Amino acid sequence: MTAEHHLKTPAGKPRARSFTIPFAGEAGRWNAITDVPDVSVGYVTLNSGDGALRIGEGPVRTGVTAILPRPIKDLATPVFAGIFSANGNGELTGSHLIEEVGAFNFPITITNTHSCGVTRDGTLRWLSRALPEAIESAWGLPVAAETYDGFLNDINGHHVTFEHVEQALDGAASGPVEEGSVGGGTGMITFGFKAGSGTASRLVEWQDRKFTLGVFVQSNFGKRRNLTIRGRHCGPDLAEPAVVEGAPRAEKGSIIAIVATDAPLLPHQLKRLARRVPLGVAMTGGLGYHSSGDIFLAFSTANPEAATAPSGRLARADYVPDADIDPFFDAVVRATEEAILNSLVANDDMTGRDGNFVPALPKEFLAKTFPSAG
């Protein structure tokens, strides 16, 4: 029997597995990125005001998400990492260092496009309090990423503050992860339906060991006509309910995906994992259109000793042979697809600035197409 936390979020919202959608692969305990040991997630959600846009006052539909790759006391220890930009109409700070050395340290934050700098700098402010020795005699290049929420949110009002970033980082925890319109995903839209934050995980057996791979997405992309659920082309059947906008504007969409694993993988292998995220996106109908910033980061929590090897000694790292990496590719694609669908299913209708309205993916359609699992 599927575990209760595979069916519902901590707030009781349905997840994709509440319906008989036939997902492939074995999910972890929480079916979340937090199934990877020591990885934690925190949110601050800002949702207030209605009516006409008044810049600086609202309506506000935004927030910040924090992902910690290690416990706070170990955040200075780098994690091996790789990145891939399938379409570069977006931002992920720290990317040049990751490309150069195949690693990063400190937390990851995800927010709206115009608050990306705030969450980056807020992370450094938080580190100076939470782990001052980590940046006392060095520099900090934290990872911060963004997607655009200006259809629903007063994005130019700059409502995300340093204090919100610190609250999200302080609140990061393991266990089940809330999904939908929370954190940085609060104002996001996917395939013309309300979306936002989503996550999923897969277990991978290799030799006599079992590793965990988790994916977290901030989902904000795609055209309605392309929506696909486990191979069923659903978009043409879902022209209604429609998005309603007060003032038509150019489409702006993106997806950020964070892949975490405890499997020992080297930076070039993690880049290969990041390159597989677009396959999971494509399985839902995402085709990487011009305005979409599709940027993906993969990291491994293994090999902490290798990442901190002192000068003058040979460093050694374990890794799964390249010839055995295919099951990890499977896990990335499957968890990405499910995380995107979770961001859609765990959601409700939302009205934002200027009366702009975004419907939720109709549960009646899902129940008819994929009957309830319980």
CA separation for the pair 257, 336 (Å, rounded): 8
Q: How crowded is residue 71: how many other Cβ atoms within 10 Å of its Cβ?
A: 14
The token pair at 368 is 């008819």
**Strands annotated E in 69-178:** 79-88, 103-104, 108-112, 143-147
- One-letter amino acid identity for 60? V
The token pair at 367 is 């129940």
CA separation for the pair 44, 210 (Å, rounded): 33
Active site residue 219: no
Q: Which helix (H) or strand (E) holds 330?
A: helix 326-345
Active site residue 294: yes
- One-letter amino acid identity for 141? L
Cα 291 to Cα 4, 114, 153, 258, distances in angstroms: 37, 16, 18, 20
**3 state DSSP class of 217:** strand
Which residue of the set 95, 292, 300, 343 is catalytic? 292
Closest-CA residue to 332 (of 211, 191, 219): 211
The token pair at 372 is 């309830």
The answer to whether 12 and 3 are in contact (CB under 8 A) is no
Which residue of the set 18, 254, 300, 343 is catalytic? 254
Which residue of the set 18, 35, 294, 343 is catalytic? 294
Cis ω for the linkage preceding 59 (within 30 of 0):
yes
Q: How crowded is residue 250: how many other Cβ atoms within 10 Å of its Cβ?
A: 5
The token pair at 269 is 């292998």
Q: Supply the DSSP symbol for 144.
A: E
Active site residue 50: no
CA separation for the pair 48, 61 (Å, rounded): 7
Write down the residue that tokens 């990061």 correspond to: 172
| DSSP for 149-161, written as a single string | -TTTS-GGG----
Write down the residue that tokens 């038509």 correspond to: 248
Closest-CA residue to 67 (of 185, 209, 224, 222): 185
Which residues are known catalytic residues? 254, 292, 294
